[in-house]
């Protein structure tokens, strides 16, 4: 993430400042432009410093987590991957073990790039089972849902005052950080519910949490609404002209996002450009995963469990039911 920020933001500014300083004939900047560019450079550099601090602190926090033997099976733990990598470096390790460990390292790196919120959730859930894991999942779900509601409320107020406010050049660092958070959260929701639904289709697999099917449906519904708001915020952060006609307020973007995720049409708004089209397609895909896969699996499993309990209850009733009237034994004659 920091490398992308450096290449995309810092290198062009460094080149522009250099060419302006040497008086290059290709330089078209006025004397006021380098001043504004330098201020933006300092602001972005603070973002890079904070990111570097977070990158340094997170591995230290990982080292304080439980020993790998206590880690929940299937969780991606950076510390465990590093320990396995060191163990598999021994001559006795087979080629398959080394390849498996290398793939875990790649998974961990890709996970932190694609969705830091997903990886932080995995670290927070390490060693948790049953009720504790369920409480943490509900807490994080509510927290992210409230954050999306708060961001949407602020965006609506700002759009009513000045619809082009977020496009100001001095807000570029804020837009980058906010967009990274939003896409990370969308990736987390997409993968978490997809993985959970697939795991629920595996027969006789013990659940890692004590969430009921009704609770899972509520969490999925919260995440569905959160996706609508998060994608609307990302549409707001796109360059002007990415959607046609241009939405007047943030409410129009919420309507476009809700129409897109439900595959009912964009409500007269059309994405223009590669960024807007890719974002729109990804939102449709996330909506299909939540509605078609998760809702169908959760509702189906809920009815299947209810039917299984009903059958077991009827079987138990038949076991304790009184015997029918009639001859019970040839030697004792008929029952009174």
Give the pLDDT score at 279: 93
**Residue with the larger pLDDT of the pair 109 and 328:** 109
Tell me: the pLDDT tens digits for 211-247? 777 788 888 889 999 999 999 999 999 988 888 888 8
pLDDT over 90 for what percent of the chain? 17
- Among 307, 315, 308, 305, which residue's Cα sits nearest to residue 207? 305
Segment of 86-95, 196-205, 218-227, 299-308 carrying the highest mean pLDDT: 218-227
**104 touches 47 (CB < 8 A):** no
The yes-or-no verdict on residue 271 having pLDDT over 60 is yes
pLDDT of residue 101: 73
Highest mean pLDDT among 30-34, 141-145, 172-176: 141-145
Helix-then-strand count for the chain, H and E: 12, 4
User: Predicted confidence band at 283 (pLDDT cuts at 50, 70, 90)?
Assistant: very high
Average pLDDT, the chain: 76
**pLDDT mean over 263-272:** 79
> Cα 283 to the chain's mean position, in Å?
13
Residue 233: name the closest of 170, 160, 152, 301 by CA. Answer: 152
Mean pLDDT of 254-270: 84
Per residue in 105-141, pLDDT tens?
Answer: 777 888 888 888 888 888 887 777 778 888 888 899 9
Give the model confidence (pLDDT) of 13-53 as tens digits.
887 887 778 888 777 778 788 888 888 878 888 887 887 77
Label each residue of 246-286 as H, E or C.
Answer: CCCCHHHHHHHHHHHHCCCCCCCCEECCHHHHHHHHHHHHH
pLDDT score of 255: 92
- Residues constituting the chain: 336
Query: Looking at 116-120, 241-245, 277-281, 314-318, which range is the least confident one?
Result: 314-318
């Amino acid at each position: 993430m920091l490398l992308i920020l450096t290449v995309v933001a810092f290198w062009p500014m460094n080149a522009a400042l250099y060419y302006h300083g040497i008086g290059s004939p290709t330089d078209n900047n006025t004397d006021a432009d380098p001043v504004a560019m330098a201020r933006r450079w300092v602001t972005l550099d603070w973002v890079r410093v904070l990111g570097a601090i977070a990158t340094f602190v997170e591995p230290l926090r990982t080292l304080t987590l439980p020993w790998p033997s206590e880690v929940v099976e299937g969780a991606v733990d950076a510390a465990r991957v590093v320990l396995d990598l060191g163990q598999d470096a021994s001559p006795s390790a087979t080629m398959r073990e080394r390849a498996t460990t290398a793939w875990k390292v790649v998974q961990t790196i890709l996970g932190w790039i694609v969705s830091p919120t997903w990886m932080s959730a995995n670290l927070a859930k390490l060693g948790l089972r049953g009720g504790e894991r369920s409480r943490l999942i509900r807490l994080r779900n509510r927290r992210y849902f409230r954050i999306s509601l708060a961001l949407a409320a602020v965006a609506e107020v700002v759009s009513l005052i000045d619809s082009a406010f977020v496009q100001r050049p001095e807000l570029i660092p804020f837009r980058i950080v906010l967009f990274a958070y939003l896409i990370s959260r969308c990736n987390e929701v997409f993968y978490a519910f997809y993985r959970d639904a697939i795991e629920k289709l595996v027969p006789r697999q013990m659940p890692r949490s004590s969430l009921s099917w009704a609770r899972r449906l509520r969490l999925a519904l919260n995440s569905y609404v959160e996706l609508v708001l998060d994608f609307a915020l990302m549409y707001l952060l796109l360059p002007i002209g990415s959607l046609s006609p241009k939405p007047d307020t943030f409410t129009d973007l919420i309507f476009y996002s809700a129409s897109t995720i439900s595959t009912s049409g964009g409500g007269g708004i059309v994405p223009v450009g590669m960024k807007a089209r890719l974002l729109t397609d990804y939102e449709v895909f996330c909506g299909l995963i939540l509605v078609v896969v998760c809702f169908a699996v959760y509702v189906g499993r809920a009815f299947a469990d209810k039917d299984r309990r009903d059958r077991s209850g009827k079987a138990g009733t038949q076991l304790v039911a009184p015997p029918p009237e009639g001859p019970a034994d040839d030697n004792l004659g008929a029952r009174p």
